[in-house]
Structure formats: C-alpha cells, structure tokens
Amino acid sequence: MEVNLKLYQAEGDLLIDPLLYRQLVGSLNYLTITRPDISFAVQQLIGFTNANWAGCADTRRSITGWCMFLGNALISWKSKKQNRVSKSFTESEYRAMSSACSEIVWLRGLLGEIGFPQLIPTPFHADNTSAIQIAANLTAEIFTKALGRPRHQFMVDKLMLFDQQHQFEGG
C-alpha cells in the first residue's frame, strides 16, 4: 500500500469490470484471516450516522441510524427510535452520533482483543454541521477539570470573560 496515498471516490477512471474488483476485495478480506500483516491495508473501520428528527409521528421521538464498515464489509448497524424526545434536529443528530461513537469504541476494543488493534483514528461521518460543532467544542472543559494555565486562558478567552481589575486599571 502506498504511504500517504489518499483515494477519492470522485477521482480516477471507472473500472471496466466491477465484479472482478469485488472478487479481489473479497479475496483480500479472506486473506486477512491468515495474513495479519496485510490487515492494515485491507481493513479500515469507518462509521456513518444520521437521525430523523421526530421521525415517529406518535411519540415525536427521533430515529437513530448508523452503520459501521470494516473495509468494504458492513459489520454493525442500528436503526432505532431514540429513548427521549429531542428538542431540535441538532439534538437528535448529536444523540445518534453519541450512540455510533459508543459502537466504534466497542468495535475497536473487540478488534484489539482478537489481535487487530486499530492504530489510527476511525473515520466517522455525520451530516449535521451543528451537531459536529457541538461534539468538537471543548468549551465546557473549564467547568469540569483542572487545566494548565495556557489552556485555562484559552478557554477564558473563548468564553469572552475579562478580568475586571485589569479593565479598571486601564489594561
């Protein structure tokens, strides 16, 4: 496998015989059982998630949906009504992302236990920008743990707090 090569679905020429490609991928998947040295090149764990806000007309509860792939093989999936009513589309998407992340953590642990530790982060795809931003926002960190001075100051600045004593001293 070429180092640092990034393959994109929208680039390159289409295969003349997709069946041959699928047979090759299936053969590589089979080989990983007896050839763990090629596992990294063949098996990349990827997750996808989505939600349908207030999808149940009766309860107004959202529907969570996610699927996990190991290489090209679908290995885990879920489609289930959420346990609580979400107040927004963003909240329902965030709940779906949380559920999918729990599955990723479990799958990574399982793969590690059977001898295939995942050395790189698992690609995880979601389509709700607001929910992604909430998941990536560490602002609440300042309320939950001790932080080093630079991180603490960074969080204080993010919260747009200011030192009143400095303000009155002209600073």
Confidence of residue 34 (pLDDT cuts 50, 70, 90): low
Count of H-run helices and E-run strands, the chain = 7, 4
User: In the prediction, which pLDDT does 171 show?
Assistant: 47
| 152-163 residue pLDDT tens | 888 888 777 766
123 Cβ contact partners less than 8 Å away, ≥ 6 residues apart: 44, 45, 46, 47
CATH of domain 18-126: 3.10.20.370
133 phi and psi angles, rounded to 5 deg: -65, -40
Domain with CATH 3.10.20.370 in the chain: 18-126
| 105-130 residue pLDDT tens | 999 888 888 887 888 889 999 999 99
- The whole-number average pLDDT for the span 34-62 is 79
Beta bridge partners of 70: 45, 73
User: In the prediction, which pLDDT does 114 show?
Assistant: 81
Q: Is residue 14's pLDDT more than 80? A: no
CA distances to 39, 54, 151 from 102, in Å: 23, 22, 27
| Residue 9 tokens, joined | 């679905």
- What percent of the chain has a predicted confidence (pLDDT) above 70? 80
